Amino acid sequence: MNPSHQQYQQKTERLTDAFRMFNELSENLALSYQGLQEQVAHLNSQLAAARSERLATLSEKEKLASRLQQILAALPAAVILLDAKNRIIDCNDHAIGFLGEPLLGLQWQAIMARSLLPVPDSPHERRLSDGRIVSITRNHLSNDAEQIILLSDVSELRTLQDRLAQQKHLSAMGEMVAGLAHQVRTPLATAILYASQMSKPQLNSTKRLQFSEKILERLQYLERQVNDMLIFAKQGRLAMQGFSWQQMLAHIAERMEEFNGAFLLENRVDRDRVQGNQDALRGALLNLLNNAIESGACLISLLAVQSGQGIEISIRDNGPGIGSDRQAQVFEPFYTTKTHGTGLGLAVVDSVVKAHKGSVYCRSELGQGSEFVLTLPIFQQDLGLSVPGVDSVGQENDYEAV
């Protein structure tokens, strides 16, 4: 074979190999293209499904948003949304109706000062300019940056509560009057009987003194009953004015001189001038002391200490004590375990303490005596405790406490 023919054969073989490789690559490319088309078709199908799902989700969210907007509009309450800087960024129509315009973009504190007036003794309620009472609920959203405020109109509820309280008080007054007749008649008849004996000339001085003490005892009992009735009838609305704390304690110590047991009085209050109703406070403290005496206690102590802007008073005795099942009831009107009495004593104590913006509670165990603790914020001169419609400061009350 000549060289030229050999070279021709080699070129032919290389060309044949090249065509074969080209065919193989073409087939691979065709297969790859087919696979790519299938992937594209699959991705298009997934994209179409995702788009359809997204559109369905958006449609549901639009329906939900529309429903929420309808609910917010239909709510009989004002809904206000605040940002992290306490600026109003959204609200419903009731918020505009309650608070007026403008609202959006303003500070919530400014809106409160403009449209929401404080309600005495109710920190979670405010009064609108038209006189309606609204309650305020404030919560942070999940991001802790925004807050939502809900204002609910509770005017009708407050009116119903006031009417119910008035009905309860009138019912209690009727019950009190029914029981008071017997409580007044018996000691009054006793006082009249002793007084009738005083005029007899044959009565010696010892008997005359005994009868005089009996008359005074019965009259003091009547005085306490009438005072309790008057204070309870006022529902804790008392005229407040400045008085001497030392003088009031001195009067209590003088009255306790008749006590046959031991009475310890300790005053750790530096200030003498306090704000309140002296007669009512003195009567409340003497009610507690008389209860201790009637329980059979032979050792009674009264401790007064300064506490914050007021005075904390503790009255302890070594009497029989009060069971835990009765301690929750002792301040209820007409609740008593005595064979005599109206059951108003501790209810009056509670009423007087509340009128002075204070609190009272009982600690006791059977066989271990009792302790009543009163907290009275009566140092401040600007408590605003006088109530319109009752005695003004400086006027004499229509009763004299025990």
Token pair of 310 as six digits: 């007021």
In degrees and rounded to multiples of 5, residue 305 shows phi and psi of: -130, 155
Q: Is a pLDDT exceeding 70 seen at residue 177?
A: no
Per-residue pLDDT of 33-45, as tens digits, reads 888 888 888 888 8
In eight-state DSSP terms, residue 324 is H
For position 88, which CATH number holds?
Answer: 3.30.450.20
pLDDT of the residue at 316 = 93
Domain assignment of residue 396, yes or no: no
Q: Are 150 and 91 in contact (CB under 8 A)?
A: no
Is 226 in the same domain as 364?
yes
What pLDDT shows up at residue 392? 31
Is residue 298 domain-shared with residue 173, that is, in the same domain? yes
Q: Does residue 55 fall inside a structural domain?
A: no
Same domain (yes/no): 138, 171? no
Residue 89 near residue 83, CB atoms below 8 Å: yes
pLDDT (0 to 100) of residue 41 = 85
- Going by pLDDT thresholds of 50, 70 and 90, the confidence category of residue 183 is low
Mean pLDDT of 193-207: 78
Highest mean pLDDT among 106-110, 179-183, 184-188, 324-328: 106-110
In a domain, 93, yes or no: yes
Report the 10 Å Cβ neighbour count for 45.
10
243 domain residue, yes or no: yes
pLDDT level of residue 313 (50, 70, 90 thresholds): very high
pLDDT at position 47, please? 86
Q: Rounded to whole angstroms, how far apart are CA atoms 233 and 331?
A: 16
Is the bond into 102 cis (omega within 30 degrees of 0)? yes
Mean pLDDT (whole number) for 356-360: 88
Higher pLDDT, residue 18 or 275: 275
Residue 29 domain-assigned? no
pLDDT band at residue 303 using 50, 70 and 90 as cut-offs:
very high
Check whether residue 127 and residue 188 sit in a common domain.
no
> Is the same domain home to 224 and 263?
yes
User: Using CA atoms, how far apart are residues 293 and 42, in angstroms rounded to an integer?
Assistant: 95
Whether residue 193 sits in one domain with residue 122: no
Evaluated on CA atoms 338, 344, 349, 350, the torsion sign reads positive
Task: Clarify whether residues 205 and 350 are in a common domain.
Answer: yes
How does residue 380 score in pLDDT terms, banded at 50, 70 and 90? low
Residue 341 pLDDT: 52
Residue 191 lies in a domain: yes
Q: What is the pLDDT of residue 389?
A: 33
Q: Is 167 found in the same domain as 132?
A: no
- Report pTM: 0.47
- Domains in the chain: how many in total? 2
Domain of 304: which CATH number? 3.30.565.10
Cα–Cα distance between 254 and 298 in angstroms, integer?
17
179 compared with 397, residue with greater pLDDT: 179
Q: Let me know whether 92 and 176 are in one domain.
A: no
Lowest mean pLDDT among 69-78, 135-144, 286-295: 69-78
pLDDT digits (tens, 9 = 90+) for 205-260: 888 888 888 888 778 777 766 666 666 665 556 778 889 999 999 999 998 988 88
Average pLDDT score over the chain:
77
Which residues form the domain of 261? Answer: 163-376
The one-character DSSP state at 274 is E
> How much is the pLDDT for 247?
93
